[in-house]
Amino acid sequence: MYFVPDGRLQKTPVMDIQNTQSQMRKGVLEFCILSIIRQGEVYPSDIVEKMRSANLHTLEGTLYPLLTRLKNAGLLTYRWVESNSGPPRKYFVMTEAGLEFYGELERTWNELADAVKALTAPSQETKTTE
């Protein structure tokens, strides 16, 4: 037996759409962040803003550990830039290894997107019976 949000019991588990949506977004987060960095040197708050403008809200608390992991893997590097309005800023850029890794991710994404599109598109049978 499973509890549903209003406290009732039911025999089958209830799927949490927000959890599923969150997992889907987490699955593409690294690819999206690398896509932004691939366009040129970038400051982390700029990444957050670009993600937000694409409706993929990302918190800095999620972003910084990911950037550190990518840097430690040799996919990113950074440089410090002095700021007139506070402490120096860390700007990230892709390494050659990062560009190669991104190329593989992009190929994987395209294959996955094509497969999902093929599976979710209405079939010819559905179109002809409507």
Where do the domains of the chain lie, and which CATH numbers do they carry?
A: 25-105 (1.10.10.10)
In this prediction, residue 29 carries a pLDDT of: 94
In this prediction, residue 97 carries a pLDDT of: 98
Whole-model pTM? 0.78
In this prediction, residue 16 carries a pLDDT of: 82
In this prediction, residue 27 carries a pLDDT of: 86
Among the listed residues 55, 50, 93, the one whose alpha carbon sits nearest the alpha carbon of residue 71: 93
Q: Are 31 and 70 in contact (CB under 8 A)?
A: no
- Walk along the chain (130 residues) and give the pLDDT tens digit of each residue: 555 666 666 666 667 888 888 888 888 999 999 999 999 999 999 999 999 999 998 888 899 999 999 999 999 999 999 989 889 999 999 999 999 999 999 999 999 999 999 999 987 665 555 5
In this prediction, residue 91 carries a pLDDT of: 97
